Every structure is written in structure tokens, then in C-alpha cells.
Amino acid sequence: MYKSKTIFFTYNIILLLSLLSGCTKEKTQIHKQSFLSKAQKAKDTASIKAFDLDHNDMTTFALDQNQSQRSQTTTNQQQSNLFSWENLAAENTKQEFKKLIFNFDRYTLEQNQQKELKHNIKQAKKMIKDGKTIVIEGHACHSAGSAIYNLALSEKRARHVAKKLADAGIDPTHIKIAPRGHEMPIVKNGNREEQAINRRVELFAIDN
């Protein structure tokens, strides 16, 4: 009887140790799986972040494109508004002024444009005495740069000329600027050199 109990007790001990061993292996396996799962998750997260960065880049690009499109719409509206001022007489006053040509990607006049600038200042003063307002149109070529960049560049060119007129004693209240970007080229095709005439400022007069 005693021997039978001993055998039974020993058998239970062995069974318990076996179960504990199995649990340990199972926990180890679970731990390994958990570690691998975390590692894979970290890898996946890194991939998602990289994709998100690319996505953000594409979003930024899309926003730039949308901004450029909005800029072009604004330019078209500005053109429409300005042409509502113009009549045949105003358009004809362009012939009284000289075109001012700018170097590529520049918004300040070179020395070789000073003669034309002086002529324009003289004509502007004369027309203002006749009750006119001077409109300064800035233009850019389309050989490089986005629509929004060229619009900003054309505005800087117009403002540069407006300052020259103001420095010469013309009241700024008689001056308006109209940046056109690259939307009104004289030469529609061609390389950078052939489009030089597009990088210009033109002046004309309108009634107050």
C-alpha cells in the first residue's frame, strides 16, 4: 500500500514537471512570437512613416500646383479688371513709352536701360499733368519658373520701376502696378534668349 502511494506520488511529480516544462516552452514560444511581432510592427511602422513622408511630399506638391492654379486664376482676374479700365486711347498710350527689358531672373534695371527709363519718366510726368494715372505692367518669360514664381518676379519688376518714377518726383498716388507673370508673352515660343523681350515692363496711361 505504501509502495503504491509512493509510485502514485512520484508519477504526479513527473507529470507536474512535464506540464511545467511544457508551459515554459509555450511561454518561451509566445515570448519569441511577441518579440517577432513587435519587431515586424516596428518595421511596418517605419515603412508607414517613410510612406507618409512621401505622401506629405506629394501633398505639398499638390498644394503648390493648386496655389499655382489659383495664382493663374488671380492673374486672369487681374487682367480682366485691368482691361476693364483700358480703352483704345489707353492702349495707344503704350506707344508713348519705351519697353524696359530685364535680365533673366532679375528685377532691377541694367545700365543699358537708363535712357529708356528717363524717357518714360518724362512721358509719365507729362501724362499725369494731363490728369492721367500711370499703369506699370510687369512681365516675365516662361522659359523657367512656375506661374506663381513668375507672377512674383513680374510684380518686383513693376515695383522697381514704380520706385524709379517716385524717386524722380512722381506722386505714387498716380501710379498703379499690374503684375502679369508669364501670361502675356510677346514671344510665345523659343529659348531663354529668344524670350528676352518677354522679361519686360510696359507703361501706359489711364484716366483717373
**Position 17 confidence tier, pLDDT thresholds 50, 70, 90:** low
- The answer to whether residue 15 scores a pLDDT higher than 80 is no
**Position 58 confidence tier, pLDDT thresholds 50, 70, 90:** very low
* CATH match of 87-207 with 3.30.1330.60: yes
- The answer to whether residue 172 scores a pLDDT higher than 50 is yes
Among residues 180, 162, 161, 179, the alpha carbon closest in space to that of 171 is found at: 162
Q: What is the pLDDT of residue 156?
A: 94
Which of 46-55, 61-70, 190-199 shows the lowest mean pLDDT across its residues? Answer: 46-55
**Position 25 confidence tier, pLDDT thresholds 50, 70, 90:** very low
Q: What is the pLDDT of residue 10?
A: 53
Task: Summarize the confidence of residues 68-73 as an average pLDDT.
Answer: 52
Which of 24-33, 58-67, 87-96, 117-126 shows the lowest mean pLDDT across its residues? Answer: 58-67
Task: Summarize the confidence of residues 92-114 as an average pLDDT.
Answer: 92
Query: 132 pairs with which residues across the strands?
Result: 207
- The answer to whether residue 59 scores a pLDDT higher than 70 is no
More confident residue, 18 or 202: 202
Q: What is the pLDDT of residue 92?
A: 73
- The answer to whether residue 23 scores a pLDDT higher than 60 is no
Task: Give CB contacts under 8 A, 24+ apart, made by 86-94.
Answer: 86/204, 86/206, 90/204, 90/205, 90/206, 90/207, 91/204, 93/127, 93/132, 93/204, 93/205, 94/202, 94/203, 94/204
Q: What is the pLDDT of residue 145?
A: 78
* Domain parsing of the chain, residue ranges: 1-85, 87-207
More confident residue, 76 or 90: 90
**Position 27 confidence tier, pLDDT thresholds 50, 70, 90:** very low
